[in-house]
Structure 1
Amino acid sequence: MFLIKRWFALIFIASFLAACSDDNTPESVAERFIKAAYAQDLDTMMDLIDVPKDADANAKGFVRGKFQMVLTEKAKQAESLGGIKNIKAEEPTYNDDKTHAHVSVTVTFNKDGKTHTEKTNLIQSNGNWKIEI
């Protein structure tokens, strides 16, 4: 009985770790970033970008302002195409030491199934994948 409990505990822990790690892949970060852009969720976008340690508060405010302008355009684009049907990230391509990744994210719209591909660059920062700007 002890062995069975131990086996179930091991499977539970392995499943938990696997589920948690899926949120920190380049493709999941890229997909969440693009979904946030079309949803006009500026706070999520800012959480997903890599802000250099030496950046001052003015730089972060500047980036936030630029993103706000982009979000307005993304919302207009999605609305004119009948809304978003699906957002799907492709497999990443990495640099040699796997600290940078490039991920294409395809956005499929409701109107006529039109698609648009967004290209994202990511960097591994403190063990987490972040959007590199």
Structure 2
Amino acid sequence: MHGDTGGAVLHSATTALSVPSVIRLRRYIRVPYRRRVPLTRAALMRRDGHHCAYCGKRAETIDHVIPRSRGGAHVWENVVASCKPCNHRKADRLLDELGWKLNVTPAVPRGLHWRLINGEHHGDPQWAPYMARMAA
């Protein structure tokens, strides 16, 4: 579908074929299961856009909205990206105790692209237009 002039070439005895960097799937057979996307640090940062859920600055850590020490679970709906100062200030307290509010509502990421690329951007910039269509 998308040829890469600088990409790999397959050779046979009589023919040389360039390997496309993007191919289009014409038929897809849906797998009948609904497994949740695994909660990893990289996927969480991608979901939150590497922004702190409390102040909006660049996030370096993850934080449990309801601390695990107070019965909070390690699930998508309870974990957000956080900057180090906010994470340290919040510690093991609840948002109500600090008078804070979340800038985003934590949720499970949805969409096939989270499973296909494991929540990470593919390294090839030629994929960008195709991945944007898939995410929509």
Structure with greater strand percent: 1
TM-score, length of structure 2 as denominator length: 0.26
TM-score, length of structure 1 as denominator length: 0.26
